[in-house]
Amino acid sequence: MGTISRRQFVKGAAGITSTVFATTCVGAPVAESYRGRINTALGIDTTSVTSSGSGGDTTYYKSDYGTDIYDATALQKLEDDCAAAAIEEVEGGVVLLKNENGALPLQKGASVTLFGQNSFENPDVDTASMGFGYTGPTYGPFYSYHTPSDTSTVKWVTYLSAMQEAFDVNPTVTEAYQTSGYGRVKDAENPEVGEAPVSLLTDDLRASWASQYNDAAIYMITRQGSEDCDLVLEDSEGISQLALHQNEKDLLALLQAEKAAGTIKRIIVLVNSSWAVELGDLANYDVDAILWVGTPGVVGFTGVANVLDGEASPSGKLVDTYAKNSLSAPAITYAQAKNTQKWSNLDEVLDTCNDTDRFVQSYLIYAEGIYVGYKYYETRYEDAILGQGNATSTAGSSTGSAWNYTDEIAYPFGYGLSYTTFQQTLDSCSFDSTSDTYTLSVTVTNTGNVAARSVVEVYAQTPYGDYEKQNKVEKSAVVLVGFAKTSELEPGASETVSVEVEQYLLASYDYTKAKGYILSAGTYYLAIGDDAHDALNNILAAKGAKGMVAVDGSSTSGDASNVYSWSTSDVDASRYAMSRYVDSQQVTNCFDDADLNNLGTDTITYLSRSDWDATFPTEPVAVRATPDMMEVLDGNFYETPDDAPSVSDFTQGEDSGITFVAMRDVDYNDEETWNVFLNQLTVEEMASILPDQNGSVAIDSITMPASYRGDDMDQLQQVVFKLNGESGFNWPCAIVEASTWDIDHITKRSNLTGNESIFMGLTEIWSGGPNIHRTPFNGRASAYYSEDGNLDYLIGEVVSRECQKYGVILGYKHMVLNDQEANRESAATFANEQAIREEYLRAFEGAYAKGGCMGCMTAFNRIGVTYAGSCSATMQDVMRGEWGFKGVICSDACVGSDYKTHYATNLANGLDYWCWDMAGFGPGSDSSTAKLSNTVIAEDIENGDGYLLKALRDATKHTVYAQVRTSNINGLDDSSQIVHANAWWENAITGTQIVSGVLTAGLLGVYVYDTVKAHKAQDGEDKKGAEA
Amino acid sequence: MAQVKGIKIQTAGAWLSLVCGALSLVTGIYYAVAAGAANNFTATVLACFLLGAVCALAYSLVPSDWADILNLVAVVFIVVAILEFIVSSIATLADVLSGITMFGSSGGIQYIAITLVLGLIALVVELVSCFMKRTK
């Protein structure tokens, strides 16, 4: 081989430097496109604010933990308070479903064996990724990037460590599970529940609990979904993922046998799932106690242990219906990947639409109407008891026999036991016409012998008469309308609580005749009860019905004394004809286009209690997309209106000296001031804040700092603590929070999250919450409060108000009808307006119309065939029109997908900015061009579209109005200026590009010089040789 | 050294470039088929792989002194091909890395991994050849 000549060395070196040079040349534009995301990931701020400090105290939004967000002691105190609150939340949010023979609580230090593969982390497995494929309990939340171990300032408490702290845990079985090699597998189409076969428990292992560790067998059943990964209707065992699987049944049978043999004293089942597992079969295995623990976050298992050993008495109530058969709900007919439909004329749709095929092909129909969760099961129960509506037909029956409540329901909505017993008495009910509310006074007495808290649940039944039947106004037999939770009551102690019920929640939306809300004519009932079913039985008792059954199937007569009723003689269509929140704003149909029956194509029969048998959805309807539907499906349907203003009608770039911070107290309706303010900005400046990458850029001319946005109320991530670059506290999932039914706690948690946001400089939290659990299979259900629109309405108001008062925008998502992860991108979603308003919009209404929530993220799906980010019905008509929403609305993550980035259409219909608006680089048609929203909108306006300029000014106003009410204005005064800096990685790329480019050029020069020189030398030698 | 169709391949450097050329050709063809099936085909990527292959093969097979620079040119083409391929596959890579489908995946990760491995091997081989003589 010999030594390398200089010329070869130079060429090789040039190869390396040119490789580096090419990499920087190709990579730099990509990195630039993702600049915001990269900076967020690295925790880099590229803008800062300088000020002379002459403005006095400019800390407009103060943390409860001091004003120095770099104070490590203060931050640790905040995080410790979060941890303490989380443990309290779990203690008050776990739900005791069964407790026979005083099985619980256990004695502290009891000798127990923990069973179930999902109870244990495998110490040899990397815990950094935690999610699917991770063996262990589910802690939540379930974004792909969320992990319990991300919370650096609070020590992660595993289930095992919490149990070892409270009990004497069998180490032999623990080690066997830890080293078994079994675990959950991430596979959206064929997930595994992750339970080990019972053969793992060999005779040697069984001997370990023969003489000790047998005070209790504690078996934890686990289910897991996640973002983009629903639970499935049918898995590899041919059953619902929520059903008990064979390995689980085998283990339960083993425990049952051990108990029968006298080896194990009691069997306790923990349900570690945010999804309603089918628990009915547990009755076959002599289980003594069942405790739903949900997904309790980074320290929550301490709270679980506290409940198990009696340090705390459980007081949570279910916020979902736990059906014995998770497939029995009518919504299942159009749900999840298996039952999502494709257009019957799919080829025509694909040929017609320009957007990517998979973004225009699927649809869902909410044929169940309002009958979701308990509203279906309890309404059908009432009709079965009263012998009406063919309720006992076999349609929808899990057994194939006549429909029967006891066959269908394991635990109803609102259900939950305690270690004590309570007596709840309805003392009085009064109506205040001024506030339009009923107030119920309820006395709660602890009739047992353990101190505990009690939840007072108030349900309503409104009339279902001829008017309703004729005009397709459906009525749930019971609807949750209010609740309250007592303080901790000592044995024998009583407390009287007041529960306010808005009459508005008794109204029904009539989308066919009144085209607005009505108060029906007939008899109204307000009832308290231990749960939805108990309250309904009380109402049925008040109606004089017979033959009622309790949750366990036993006969009951209900308690009419816990019911308040009154009657009206006429349908009242005027009371709520106008908005409750905005003067002179009519409330009327906005979603006719989302109802398939209005679109001139195949029609749908919605489920009606007038005839359960004839209307229960059994087979999906094949739907043909019409040309009009395809035009909207294709997404780019904006056309400049004929009466649009011209660009010259507006003044831009006229400095009036009004800074961003000066707008902090300007009323939204002060049009004159807002116009003067907006006139200062150029089109380019306004457009610059349209694209988001976990924040938007600063606007120097008005000293508006850059904004910072990230997920989620269950754990603040993406944007991190300024002090240490770490994520926020990892809370129990939203369902556990809701299951506390404790407004005081929800207030505390919201306050703590608001405080965290200040320590991060976070200006907007994109967060789940109000979407309801249409089915128990939604992979993202853990981020949404409940199956009930009204409960979400009541919670959302509190969370919004209590979080935002610390100067952060709560951007609730996903607006709206976004109720599954399968086909979440772009599925067309059809529903009637009653269901949309009373269930899906109601869940958001409390936050926006009453709680002052200032942010909103639209969904990936379509409302009807209209992409949610282009749906003026939700964004303009309902949110801004009826609810008086003044904040900012963004899309869900765009990331270059074509159907999400019809920018002009989005903007014209009410969108204010685009989340993760980053260029698509792929060649496929699903990638947008490198032109982002700011460029496209500015070009359209430059081409003379005055309508878009008006829309851009509106979007800017919305953004500024919301941003100027955040902690982003802290430190701003009249002397403030924005200072820009490059991120270190940008400088590194530029430097590397220059150095490698110069080196390449130099090395090539040397190479050419050497080559020419060698040739000349060779020519000389050749010449000499020839002469010789 | 061996002789290919009358052309003498005299050094290891020339052989390496020949291997690189063959690999680039195979990679380009594989890419065209797989990316086409995944609806993720970019002409630039294929063109660069093929031009890289031509240069690498010419370096080995064309008996001209001026062809001595062609393996360096091949390096540039192959680098650009790989980089453009990565950029065009960002959506799929993002989906895989984040564990969710949201960024616009086109096809699976397998063909991306195979294409990258083949391309990187070709690149490294050609870089090594740049440090070596083409002729004795």
- CA distance linking residue A158 with residue A330, whole number of Å: 38
Pairing of strands A267-272, A216-222: parallel
Backbone angles phi, psi at A302, to 5 degrees: -65, -40
Within a domain: residue B3?
A: no
Within a domain: residue A256?
A: yes
Residues A233 and A310 in one domain: yes
Within a domain: residue B84?
A: yes
Tell me which of A284, A299, A315 is where a domain ends: A315
Residues A101 and A230 in one domain: yes
**Measured between CA atoms, how close is A12 to chain B, in angstroms?**
4
Residues A959 and A995 in one domain: no
Q: What pLDDT is recorded for position A491? A: 98
Within a domain: residue B5?
A: no
Residues of chain A with pLDDT under 70: 1-2, 123-135, 142-152, 185-190, 920-930
Location of structure tokens 């675990």: A183
Contact at CB, B69 and A1007, closer than 8 angstroms: yes
Helix-helix angle B70-88:B109-130, to 10 degrees: 160
Q: Are A143 and A226 in contact (CB under 8 A)?
A: yes
Contact at CB, B80 and A26, closer than 8 angstroms: yes
At position A1007, the amino acid (one-letter code) is Y
Q: What pLDDT is recorded for position A4? A: 80
The pTM for the full model equals: 0.94
- CA distance linking residue A93 with residue A698, whole number of Å: 42
Residue from the list B72, B90, B103 with its beta carbon closest to the beta carbon of A11 = B72
- CA distance linking residue A446 with residue A495, whole number of Å: 9
Within a domain: residue A76?
A: no
Residues A963 and A1001 in one domain: no
Q: What pLDDT is recorded for position B4? A: 46
What is the distance in angstroms between the CA of the first residue and the CA of the last residue of chain B?
10
- Contacts with B80 from chain A: Cβ below 8 Å: 22, 26
For residue A347 the two structure tokens come to: 């080829």
Within a domain: residue A662?
A: yes
Can the peptide bond before residue A712 be classed as cis, meaning omega within 30 degrees of 0? Answer: yes
Within a domain: residue A736?
A: yes
Q: How many domains does chain A have?
A: 4
Percent share of chain A, pLDDT over 90: 84
User: What does the DSSP assignment read for A947-1014?
Assistant: HHHHHHHHHHHHHHHHHTTSGGGTT--TT-EEEE---HHHHHHHHHHHHHHHHHHHHHHHHHHHHHHH
* Residue A432 DSSP code: E
Within a domain: residue A417?
A: yes
**Measured between CA atoms, how close is B94 to chain A, in angstroms?**
10
Residue from the list B91, B98, B130 with its beta carbon closest to the beta carbon of A922 = B91
Question: Mean of the pLDDT values across residues B63-80?
Answer: 92
> Of A625, A627, A699, A619, whose CA–CA distance to A956 is shortest?
A699
For residue A297 the two structure tokens come to: 């976050």
How many CA atoms, within 13 angstroms, populate the side-chain half-sphere of residue A808?
Answer: 37
Within a domain: residue B2?
A: no
Residue from the list A18, A227, A927 with its beta carbon closest to the beta carbon of B104 = A927
Contact at CB, B98 and A131, closer than 8 angstroms: no
Q: Assign A735 to helix, strand or coil.
A: helix
Contact at CB, B103 and A1011, closer than 8 angstroms: no
Q: Are A78 and A65 in contact (CB under 8 A)?
A: yes
**What is the H or E stretch that residue A587 is in?**
none
Burial of A727-748, coded b for 16+ CB within 10 Å and e otherwise, reads bbbbbbbbbbbbbbbbbebbeb
Q: What pLDDT is recorded for position A142? A: 64
- Hey, which residues does A497 pair with through a beta bridge? A442
The chain B residue lying nearest A26, using CA atoms, is B83
Contact at CB, A896 and B91, closer than 8 angstroms: yes
- Contacts with A826 from chain B: Cβ below 8 Å: none
pLDDT per residue as tens digits for the range A880-913: 999 999 999 999 999 888 899 999 999 999 999 9
**Measured between CA atoms, how close is A872 to chain B, in angstroms?**
24
Contact at CB, B91 and A921, closer than 8 angstroms: yes
- Contacts with A23 from chain B: Cβ below 8 Å: 79, 83
Better-scored residue on pLDDT, B97 or A313: A313
**How many residues belong to chain B?**
136
Query: Domain containing B30: what range?
Result: 10-130
Residues A558 and A657 in one domain: no
Q: What pLDDT is recorded for position A188? A: 60
> Of A873, A717, A880, A855, whose CA–CA distance to A796 is shortest?
A855
B75 touches chain A (CB under 8 A): yes
Describe the strand order of the beta sheet including A362-365 as a list of residue ranges. Answer: A341-342, A362-365, A828-830, A862-863, A866-867
The CATH number covering residue A545 comes to 2.60.40.10
Within a domain: residue B1?
A: no
β strands within A208-308, DSSP E: 216-222, 267-272, 289-292
The CATH number covering residue A945 comes to 3.20.20.300
Residue from the list A9, A14, A922 with its beta carbon closest to the beta carbon of B88 = A922
- CA distance linking residue A362 with residue A346, whole number of Å: 9
Location of structure tokens 């026979």: A100
Q: Looking at chain B from residue 2 to 41, which residues have their Cβ under 8 Å from any Cβ of chain A?
A: 12-13, 39-41
Within a domain: residue A129?
A: yes
Q: Are A493 and A443 in contact (CB under 8 A)?
A: no
Q: Which of B46, B75, B120 to mutate against chain A (most A CBs within 10 Å)?
A: B75
Q: What is the CA radius of gyration of chain B?
A: 16
Pairing of strands A111-115, A168-169: parallel
Question: Mean of the pLDDT values across residues B110-115?
Answer: 94
Q: What is the CA radius of gyration of chain A?
A: 31
Within a domain: residue B70?
A: yes
Residues A472 and A519 in one domain: yes
The CATH number covering residue A168 comes to 3.40.50.1700
Describe the strand order of the beta sheet including A455-461 as a list of residue ranges. Answer: A479-485, A455-461, A522-529, A563-568
Apex A122 CA angle, A116 and A128, nearest 5? 120
**What is the H or E stretch that residue A98 is in?**
strand A95-99
B107 touches chain A (CB under 8 A): no
> Of A742, A658, A740, A744, whose CA–CA distance to A701 is shortest?
A658
Contact at CB, A229 and B100, closer than 8 angstroms: yes
Residue from the list A1, A18, A927 with its beta carbon closest to the beta carbon of B76 = A18
Within a domain: residue B136?
A: no
What is the biggest distance separating any 2 CA atoms in chain A, rounded to whole angstroms?
A: 130
Residues A667 and A692 in one domain: yes
Residues A895 and A960 in one domain: yes
**What is the H or E stretch that residue A480 is in?**
strand A479-485
B131 touches chain A (CB under 8 A): yes
- Hey, which residues does A577 pair with through a beta bridge? none
Q: Which of A895, A916, A929, A993 to mutate against chain B (most B CBs within 10 Å)?
A: A895
Within a domain: residue B62?
A: yes
Q: How far is CA A694 from its chain centroid?
A: 18
Q: What pLDDT is recorded for position B3? A: 45
Integer angstrom CA distances of residue A521 from A298, A463, A467, A490, A566: 50, 6, 8, 44, 11
Q: What pLDDT is recorded for position A451? A: 98
> Count of CB atoms within 10 A of residue A239's CB?
17
The chain A residue lying nearest B92, using CA atoms, is A922
Location of structure tokens 């489908």: B101
> Of A658, A666, A646, whose CA–CA distance to A944 is shortest?
A646
Contact at CB, B68 and A896, closer than 8 angstroms: no
Residues A921 and A993 in one domain: no
Contact at CB, B91 and A131, closer than 8 angstroms: no
Q: How many domains does chain B have?
A: 1
For residue A454 the two structure tokens come to: 């009690």
Query: Domain containing A866: what range?
Result: 67-71+644-968
Residues A528 and A492 in one domain: yes
- CA distance linking residue A844 with residue A828, whole number of Å: 20
Within a domain: residue A158?
A: yes
Residues A964 and A991 in one domain: no
B42 touches chain A (CB under 8 A): yes
pLDDT of B128 strictly over 50: yes
- CA distance linking residue A176 with residue A244, whole number of Å: 22
Within a domain: residue A423?
A: yes
> Of A57, A10, A95, whose CA–CA distance to A279 is shortest?
A95
Residue from the list B99, B102, B123 with its beta carbon closest to the beta carbon of A131 = B99
Residues A958 and A988 in one domain: no
Task: Name the interface residues of A facing B (CB cutoff 8 Å).
Answer: 1-2, 4-5, 8-9, 11-12, 14-16, 18-19, 22-23, 26-27, 30, 131-132, 144-145, 186, 226-229, 356, 825, 893, 895-897, 920-927, 1007, 1011, 1015
**How many residues belong to chain A?**
1028
Q: What pLDDT is recorded for position A128? A: 47
β strands within A344-421, DSSP E: 362-365, 409-411
